[in-house]
Copies of this chain bind each other. A is one copy, B any other.
Amino acid sequence: MDPESIAEAVMKRLEDAWNAADGAAFGAPFAPDADFVAIRGDLHSGEAIAAGHQQIFETIYAGSTISYTVLQARELDDRVILAHVRGTLNAPTGPLAGETDALASVILVRDEHRIAALHNTLVASG
């Protein structure tokens, strides 16, 4: 599979999990030692990813939907893929109520189709 297809397949899993508000499913594509930098600049790892998302699915992002678009994906070597992904969030309430874009760098390990690291930043308006 080419890098774009791998990235799109993995992001589809995250998108479906977010839209089902399913933290465990959201955490599943991440490697056990994965690193996750969220939009507030906080670093999480491994199992905290599923639990942390379940918490926000039930609170600030309750009822929200997300749509991911892979902007680019390339191989850093024969095992590691780097993708840049735009996420468009629609949230009915909470600190990001309305529509918000974010840009994520996603590092994937080819053999396992798992996420080794993800770093996400809100796209500033204007």
Copies of this chain: 2
Q: Does A37 make an interface contact (CB < 8 A)?
A: yes
A105 to B76, Cβ gap below 8 A?
no
What are the residues of chain B within 8 A of A120 when measuring CB–CB? 121
Q: How many residues of A contact B (CB 8 A)?
A: 31
A82 to B37, Cβ gap below 8 A?
no
A123 to B42, Cβ gap below 8 A?
yes
Q: A76-B107, A77-B77 are in contact. Are A123 and B41 (CB under 8 A)?
A: yes
Chain B CB within 10 Å, residue with most, of A103, A116, A121: A121
The A contact surface, by secondary structure, is: strand
Q: A107-126 CB contact bits vs B (8 Å, 1 = yes)?
A: 10100000011011111100
Q: Does A51 make an interface contact (CB < 8 A)?
A: no
Binding site for B on A (CB under 8 A): 33, 35, 37, 39-43, 71-72, 74, 76-77, 79-80, 82, 84, 101-103, 105, 107, 109, 116-117, 119-124
